[in-house]
Amino acid sequence: MTAYRCRTLVTMDGDPIDHGAFIVEGNRFGAVGRARDVLRTHTGSIKDLGDVIVLPGLINAHCHLDYTLMRGALLSPGSFPQWVQRINALKRSFSDEDYLRATMLGLEELRRFGVTGVLDIIATPQILPRLPPPPIRTWFFLELIDVRPHPWVDEHAFGSWLFFTEERPAL
């Protein structure tokens, strides 16, 4: 058992706790609260995390990771239809390699900023068999609206299902 001390502990079950601490037993929290209370009877090691805020991992409940490369390319639109037209023009210019790179970049960026789970809307299921295991909990949902003619073919759709099996075929 290891106890961790921090400046502020956010439990999402009440107000933030100044001078907080929590005890981790295996992969579970054993105790959470003010450091003076939590550490009073703790006999294991104590790690002081310093002047930080500790909070639960964030969840991004709607994301388009394959659009990560569009950052900065979507200028302020005059209208919603113009914005959608710009996105669609960009989507047509990207290759599967671009979409794969964008998804991996987006996953790593989410992890770096404290996101521990993401629900990703994906328009390119053919990249899923080539995607390395995500660094955070990830659920993929197929985008059913696409302006491209035949954005993916049956063999790609079938291949994307292989991503979810325990044994992936060698590519």
User: Could you read off the pLDDT of 56-86 as tens digits, one per residue?
Assistant: 899 999 999 988 988 888 777 678 888 888 8
Write the Ramachandran bin of 145: left for phi over 0, alpha for psi from -120 to 50, otherwise beta.
beta
- Residues 147 and 83 placed together within one structural domain of the fold: yes
- What is the percentage of the chain residues whose pLDDT exceeds 90? 55
pLDDT band at 33 (very low <50, low <70, confident <90, very high): very high
Mean pLDDT, range 142-160, rounded to an integer: 59
Q: Compute CA 83 distance to the chain's CA centroid, rounded to the nearest angstrom.
A: 25
- Residues 69 and 137 placed together within one structural domain of the fold: yes
CATH number at residue 47: 2.30.40.10
What separation in angstroms does the CA of 111 have from each of 32, 53, 107, 136? 24, 17, 6, 6
- Residues 50 and 65 placed together within one structural domain of the fold: no
- Report the distance separating Cα 129 and Cα 140, nearest Å: 12
Q: Structurally, how many domains does the chain consist of? A: 2
Q: Which residue has the higher pLDDT, 151 or 7?
A: 7
- Residues 25 and 63 placed together within one structural domain of the fold: no
User: Could you read off the pLDDT of 35-44 as tens digits, one per residue?
Assistant: 999 999 999 9
22 strand-pairing partners: 4, 32
- Residues 69 and 148 placed together within one structural domain of the fold: yes
- Residues 152 and 139 placed together within one structural domain of the fold: yes
User: Does the pLDDT value for residue 159 go beyond 70?
Assistant: no
User: Does the pLDDT value for residue 140 go beyond 70?
Assistant: yes
| Helix, coil or strand: residue 90 | helix
User: Which of 118, 130, 126 has its CA nearest to residue 156?
Assistant: 126
Q: Is residue 169 part of a domain?
A: no
Q: Give the helix ranges, DSSP H, for the chain.
A: 35-38, 80-93, 96-112, 154-162
Range of the domain at 149: 58-162
User: Does the pLDDT value for residue 157 go beyond 60?
Assistant: no
